[in-house]
Amino acid sequence: MVAVPGRGDTPLLLIAPRNRTIRDRLAADLAEVESRFAAELRSDLPCVNRLVTHIESYRGKMLRPTLVLVSAMGSNPQGGANKDAHRIIAAVVEMVHMATLAHDDILDDAEIRRGGTTINSLVGNESAVMLGDYLISHAYHLCSDIGRTDICRMIAESTNVTCEGELLQLANRGNWFLDEQTYFEIIRRKTACLCGMCCKIAAVLSGTTPATAAALYRYGQKLGTAFQIVDDVLDLTSDEQTTGKTVGRDLQKGKLTLPLIHCLSTVCPDDRTRLHDLLQAQGEPGASASTHTAAVDQIRRYLADSESVAYAQRSAGQLIADAKQAVMGHLAPSAARSLMLDMADAVLTRDC
């Protein structure tokens, strides 16, 4: 794993680059992204700086900045990733992503009554909204540093689509009859588009041909879709000690994801009815924590007895194969290209 100064032992990346030069470049670039990120968010108001420290709670694997940096290296192995614009965009996409996380944590009435236990409890609903707004505003501000409206526009295009994905997901909240097509439409918009754009912008900044930029978009988009599927599988199958996240949170939020969509479509009619009853029961606004947990446990047992988790993993596997294909068809072999292929593979094997 690549370590970044100041981040302690947190594993930042899904990948452990085999090439030492590549590893050092990536670590240096990520460290630079972190400083850009921190510098951009600094305010003259102490109350703002105090709130910004809560952002650390949202920090994850830096998937999106890493996509920018590896695509920069892959599309211009002679030094693309060292260009300042790439690092700026890497910080921008991380800000956009963190804003999404802050706003995803906003609780509704029922959740507040039930007692919210998410990161929002640290700062409250209103501060979480304002913190997200502060991040998104600074993302666009930092983006304008590059001085290219085509890049500003691509960032805005991807946030437009991300918002639509979030809204489509919200419109399907508690829809236990969600079909696979709508599920994929939601994650295409809310996750995959920004991941694709990370890679495409990196290619555009490296000055590649439009065909290569389009191929890199596909790489990021497919990888991002697979990443989301794996996230959704982990939410249903993992335990909190491994992931560090509340397990079953998607169900609590009324989100049906690929393993359960497949399970519902393949079980016998009686089991389907029983599963729908359990999904309804765990999501009832008046449900106690113990009712919720008991229902989720039963749902997890249904899943364990099915082929549905394997089905979701196969879907993710196919997407990763497509992502790798896009890269191999358009980039010449290089250490950076190998890194992109390794990164894609690592999406499938992560357990947190």
The residues binding a copy of itself (CB under 8 A) are: 43, 45, 47-48, 51, 99, 103, 106-109, 112-113, 124-127, 129-134, 136-138, 140-141, 143-144, 146-149, 152-153, 155-157, 159-160, 162-164, 166-168, 170-171
At which residue do the structure tokens 């194969």 appear?
Answer: 321
Cβ atoms of residues 229 and 258 within 8 Å: yes
- In this complex, which beta carbon is closest to a copy of itself, that of residue 189 or of residue 324? 189
- 304, two tokens: 């364990």
- In this complex, which beta carbon is closest to a copy of itself, that of residue 45 or of residue 332? 45
- In this complex, which beta carbon is closest to a copy of itself, that of residue 40 or of residue 345? 40
Cβ atoms of residues 243 and 336 within 8 Å: no
Give me the least distance between CB of 142 and a copy of itself, in Å please. 8
- In this complex, which beta carbon is closest to a copy of itself, that of residue 137 or of residue 242? 137
Give me the least distance between CB of 328 and a copy of itself, in Å please. 33
Give me the least distance between CB of 183 and a copy of itself, in Å please. 15
Give me the least distance between CB of 84 and a copy of itself, in Å please. 15
- In sequence order, what DSSP letters do the residues of 148-187 get, joined into one string? -HHHHHHHHHHHHHHHHHHHHHHHTTT-TT--HHHHHHHH
Cβ atoms of residues 263 and 159 within 8 Å: no
Q: Please name the amino acid found at residue 279.
A: L
Give me the least distance between CB of 50 and a copy of itself, in Å please. 8
Cβ atoms of residues 253 and 173 within 8 Å: yes
- Residue 176 CA to residue 120 CA, distance in Å, equals 26
CA distances from 302 to 107, 238, 253, 264, 271 (A): 28, 15, 20, 10, 9
Give me the least distance between CB of 170 and a copy of itself, in Å please. 6
- In this complex, which beta carbon is closest to a copy of itself, that of residue 175 or of residue 209? 175
Cβ atoms within 10 Å of 6's Cβ, excluding its own: 9
- In this complex, which beta carbon is closest to a copy of itself, that of residue 131 or of residue 263? 131
Tell me the angle at which helices 193-206 and 210-237 cross, rounded to the nearest 10 degrees. 150
